């Protein structure tokens, strides 16, 4: 079991043992996999979930997305 130093809902530090801290900060017991990226809400750790990012468009998709860019590319390649 780890200790987390919290400031309301923010987890500031996760460590094995408590150390002296400002009286406004509170030590709580947390699971070993808790990190400072998590939050502490209503007496429980809320895990941070990294957002899923959409896949980046390929170069071809980027070129085809803009007809003006496609026309410029054809002109630069001597295809017009």
Helix ranges (DSSP H) in the chain:
59-64, 67-76
pLDDT of 66: 74
Burial class of 11 by CB neighbour count within 10 A (0 to 12, 13 to 18, 19+): buried
Give CA–CA dist 33/57, Å, rounded: 35
Residue 9: its pLDDT value, please? Answer: 95
- The pLDDT of residue 77: 83
Task: Tell me the average confidence (pLDDT) per consecutive run of 10 residues in the chain, 80 residues long.
Answer: 96 97 97 97 95 86 74 79
Question: Which among 47, 52, 63, 49 has a CA at the least distance from the CA of 14?
Answer: 47
Give the Cα separation of 62 and 60 in Å (integer): 5
| Boundaries of every domain in the chain | 2-46, 52-80
């Amino acid at each position: 079991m780890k200790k987390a130093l919290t400031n309301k809902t923010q987890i500031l530090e996760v460590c094995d043992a408590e150390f002296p801290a400002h009286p406004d900060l509170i030590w709580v017991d947390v699971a070993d996999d808790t990190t400072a990226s998590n939050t502490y809400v209503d007496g429980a750790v809320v895990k941070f979930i990294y957002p899923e990012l959409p896949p980046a468009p390929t170069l071809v998709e980027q070129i085809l997305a803009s007809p003006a860019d496609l026309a410029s590319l054809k002109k630069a390649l001597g295809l017009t």
